Chain A
């Protein structure tokens, strides 16, 4: 027997001629020579294939694994190891090794591990024992009798019983999980291709597998979940439900409105149910942990899973085309029809007024970040550059493409009356936009109610329009701009005078913060608005157009743009103050202009309204410059200067700047040196005085500034006196006297030099005078006042005598 095996093995993996001779003559472990040497004669039987197994295992395993026999070898090794693990019986282990070797080289040797061969190998063992051992090996799932070859071989599977596991899974599963099944099968939605081609909007219906009961439940109150607009449901009747009944129930639950739910009963439903059950069961079996360590069984489960899946796919494909689809009416979509055209015509019906938008970038629900940026740029251009032919977009950036596809193609932005502007849709815009505009106008029917932007979006997204999320902001902005004369925008409930790009960004973030209102204007109101427009022009507020709402916006934004001080001051007339406060708090132009203001002004009609409005409006508008003027007058007075001769003031300031020795006074003088009487330079001086710019003042800052200015002025004049005596000769004594009290008293400044020879006399006389006055018992303050008055008298007398 053993001799037979030598050539066999050579032929089988004869990568090396020496292997046979090596086997016979070398001293490798378990080799023939090792056997001869280690086996005592008394125990000698034959050198069996099982010994040869040991030889191969010990010496050549790595070579065999790399050869084409590697796979079978590893299966054999696994079988042998399992047998070794499960039974300690040496006979059985030897037996499986023999089977393994013979089986492995069967095709080359022509020798099969059939019963006679095995009995011959174990000639000493009784036949019954051999039979018993073989049966035991079979029950351990180690060896397998293959009836078609009539021989034993190693068990190529594993001890995992797949069929039993499937049966178990089927028994425990509560029924078919159709949702999971749909997911497993990866059933694709049905795209309404023709509709997409014709309208530019991609729409689809879901296709799913359900039981009839589930289909009924879903159809009841169905709402699209994930962007689809309807459902195709393949409904499988449960066991025992007749085809007739199934069709009847499908017919009853299918519907076209509000959303199409079509139900089909596949004619091959029994087979689908069977395969589905198997598939789901196999999926469960696949997850069992026993398979983790059982590659053979795992392989088999996967193979069966793939087979079941492809079978089911075939069946479902057939089912989709073979089903009779019920659409709720008596009409039945004939078997064999393709689903996409059906979906298209359903979409056409449902989205009857869908505006045509040919932009793959934004005509979708989720927009890529690049497109989001392009759309944002376009929206900014829309609010900032209306009137320019291309909205001021230069070159061919992405927003230029959006501009063409969204605004030009839809004819919403066009040349009208010689100017580019956003307009209502025209015939060229198509029926969709016209209907959209109509429906939106209808939302504003109640002019007292505000309509949320999110509400508008919702209306636009629903049938019959079905606008995609990506285009909503663009269409909305076009709508707002086309109707800016009539639509008032509110953010967080507050009126927004003019829409700007920051508002757009905030609207993109959260549309629900914005609400709109349609302002209806009649004849009388029109007169008021025109009057306001004129008044605004009078106070220097430019109003861009004669749009009535524009005028109202102008009034509110005029008040908002006032300097802080004008918005807070109490130094205004009662009416003006009340009007300002009202406008500042205004959240609704309609109410404030036509109700609150009218009441405040006590005006009965448009004409008297405008007349009454003029005075307070001008008062508010000019309050700030008036206040500045008053402060300026006081400052000039304190400096003993006039507005008519600022030049000499600047000269005086120049000589003082830099020598005052005080940072703040220096700053004051520097500013005076360039003072030109304009608002801006006055503000510079005043902000220094009050440590706060005058536009941010509150009333008390005026007093603080006046006080500080008075001090500045006094020190300024002191410094002037100091400058006058600077640089005198050291030999003469220079004396400067500044006399004056308060900012408004005339101040006398004289400087004079006393020569050396008068010095003694001056000192003596001064001492005389001082002691004389002191002897009167008067306080120092009083004495100084007397001296000051006397000095003034002398100075003025001298002046007049000079004249």
Chain B
């Protein structure tokens, strides 16, 4: 029986660290890396994937290059996805993965999927296996790798962080509806053209009667008004200062300067239920 090992790369730090870690600790495993491309990724993600591929020395398979976000948007009558109807993850992340491993599973191969859930995270189903011969493995959890170790792994391997971590805490689509308002504001600063595209999508969706806007309760058109931007930034700064004060100091492990994690600041566990598939 053939054994297959797959590891999904989301473009975020955890999955990248897992890939690096697996390469070092289990160099004998022939792991197939994959990245489900939604067609709406930040340019930094592609750049990071290139760096990672460089380190791994193996190409990362890009799944669903043809049916991208816009295809499914048309298929769903121009209704934007939302936490309630989250078709984007289902169609753009899960379905291509299932399709990809389907022939192997059908042939009776054992497929091991490695998911980057860290030891310091609540247990969440990254992906619950639907087939008997698909096994989900959580190596970080088994080896007790936590957030600081992840940072270590990435930095010492020379792969480093994805560049967007300077201003945003998640991988995934440019217009991910799980992102905080501050991230929208920063998206507009970093990639004004992507912000414009998201605006156009939203306008189109509203014209087709979609009940959802990207960010809860306000349209991107409202959000980009200067006074609103100032408000969002001030609110974020307040939270950040408060959160800094609240960090307990561990005398055994001095606090290191690292990227601020926006989800930490909002007290949410990695994107508020956005879950492993998009943002790991």
Alpha-carbon separation in the docked complex, A685 to B55 (Å): 9
15 CB contacts below 8 A, A to B, read A500-B66, A502-B71, A506-B71, A509-B71, A510-B74, A663-B157, A667-B55, A683-B59, A687-B53, A689-B54, A691-B50, A691-B54, A692-B51, A693-B53, A695-B59
The A672-691 residues at the B interface (CB cut-off 8 A) are 683-685, 687-691
Q: How many whole Å from A578's CB to the nearest CB in chain B?
A: 28
Q: Does A693 contact B71, Cβ atoms closer than 8 Å? A: no
Q: Taking the complex as formed, is A671 at the interface, i.e. its CB lies under 8 A from any CB of chain B? A: yes
Residue among B50, B57, B59, B71 having the largest count of chain A Cβ atoms under 10 Å: B57
Q: How many whole Å from B202's CB to the nearest CB in chain A?
A: 20
What residues of A have a CB within 8 angstroms of the CB of B158 in the complex? 663-664
What residues of B have a CB within 8 angstroms of the CB of A663 in the complex? 156-158
6 closest pairs, A vs B, by CB? A684-B57, A502-B66, A691-B54, A692-B50, A687-B54, A691-B51
Alpha-carbon separation in the docked complex, A689 to B54 (Å): 7
Closest residue on chain A to residue B46 by CB atoms: A696
Q: How many whole Å from A392's CB to the nearest CB in chain B?
A: 14
What residues of B have a CB within 8 angstroms of the CB of A687 in the complex? 53-54, 57
Interface of B is mostly: helix
Query: Can you list, as one digit per residue, whether each of A489-518 has a CB less than 8 Å from chain B (1) or not (0)?
Result: 000000000001010011001100000000
Q: Taking the complex as formed, is B67 at the interface, i.e. its CB lies under 8 A from any CB of chain A? A: yes
Q: Pick the contact of A667 from B57, B59, B66, B71 — CB < 8 Å?
A: B57
What residues of B have a CB within 8 angstroms of the CB of A671 in the complex? 57
Q: Does A688 contact B54, Cβ atoms closer than 8 Å? A: yes
Q: Taking the complex as formed, is B248 at the interface, i.e. its CB lies under 8 A from any CB of chain A? A: no
What residues of B have a CB within 8 angstroms of the CB of A667 in the complex? 23, 55, 57
Q: Which residues of B contact A (CB under 8 A)?
A: 23, 27, 50-51, 53-55, 57-59, 66-67, 71, 74-75, 156-158
A-B contact count (CB 8 A): 48
Alpha-carbon separation in the docked complex, A126 to B53 (Å): 116
Alpha-carbon separation in the docked complex, A693 to B75 (Å): 34
Q: Pick the contact of B50 from A506, A684, A696 — CB < 8 Å?
A: A696
Q: Does B74 contact A688, Cβ atoms closer than 8 Å? A: no
The number of chain A residues touching the other chain, given as a range, is 20 to 34
Q: Does A690 contact B75, Cβ atoms closer than 8 Å? A: no
What residues of B have a CB within 8 angstroms of the CB of A683 in the complex? 59
Question: Known: A500-B66, A502-B66, A663-B157. Is A690-B71 also a contact (CB below 8 A)?
Answer: no
Q: Taking the complex as formed, is A371 at the interface, i.e. its CB lies under 8 A from any CB of chain B? A: no
The A498-555 residues at the B interface (CB cut-off 8 A) are 500, 502, 505-506, 509-510
Q: How many whole Å from A498's CB to the nearest CB in chain B?
A: 12
What residues of A have a CB within 8 angstroms of the CB of B54 in the complex? 687-693
Closest residue on chain A to residue B23 by CB atoms: A667
What residues of B have a CB within 8 angstroms of the CB of A429 in the complex? none
What residues of B have a CB within 8 angstroms of the CB of A405 in the complex? none
Residue among A500, A663, A689, A696 having the largest count of chain B Cβ atoms under 10 Å: A663
What residues of A have a CB within 8 angstroms of the CB of B156 in the complex? 663
Known: A506-B71, A663-B157, A683-B59. 16 other contacts (CB 8 A): A500-B66, A509-B74, A509-B75, A510-B74, A664-B157, A667-B55, A667-B57, A671-B57, A687-B54, A688-B54, A690-B54, A691-B51, A691-B54, A692-B50, A692-B54, A693-B59
Q: Which residues of A contact B (CB under 8 A)?
A: 500, 502, 505-506, 509-510, 663-664, 667, 670-671, 683-685, 687-693, 695-696
Q: Does A505 contact B71, Cβ atoms closer than 8 Å? A: yes
Question: Known: A505-B67, A505-B71, A664-B158. Is A685-B57 also a contact (CB below 8 A)?
Answer: yes
Alpha-carbon separation in the docked complex, A502 to B91 (Å): 14
Q: How many whole Å from A202's CB to the nearest CB in chain B?
A: 27
Closest residue on chain B to residue A693 by CB atoms: B53
What residues of B have a CB within 8 angstroms of the CB of A500 in the complex? 66
What residues of B have a CB within 8 angstroms of the CB of A510 in the complex? 74
Alpha-carbon separation in the docked complex, A689 to B57 (Å): 10
Q: Pick the contact of B55 from A502, A505, A506, A688 — CB < 8 Å?
A: A688
Closest residue on chain A to residue B160 by CB atoms: A691
Alpha-carbon separation in the docked complex, A664 to B156 (Å): 9
What residues of B have a CB within 8 angstroms of the CB of A693 in the complex? 50, 53-54, 59
Alpha-carbon separation in the docked complex, A509 to B77 (Å): 10
Closest residue on chain A to residue B68 by CB atoms: A502
What residues of A have a CB within 8 angstroms of the CB of B55 in the complex? 667, 688, 691
Alpha-carbon separation in the docked complex, A756 to B156 (Å): 40
Q: How many whole Å from B96's CB to the nearest CB in chain A?
A: 12
What residues of A have a CB within 8 angstroms of the CB of B27 in the complex? 670
Alpha-carbon separation in the docked complex, A683 to B60 (Å): 13
Closest residue on chain A to residue B60 by CB atoms: A693
Q: How many whole Å from B161's CB to the nearest CB in chain A?
A: 14
Alpha-carbon separation in the docked complex, A228 to B50 (Å): 58
What residues of B have a CB within 8 angstroms of the CB of A688 in the complex? 54-55, 57
Alpha-carbon separation in the docked complex, A683 to B56 (Å): 11
Residue among A506, A685, A690 having the largest count of chain B Cβ atoms under 10 Å: A506
Q: How many whole Å from B224's CB to the nearest CB in chain A?
A: 30
Closest residue on chain A to residue B65 by CB atoms: A502
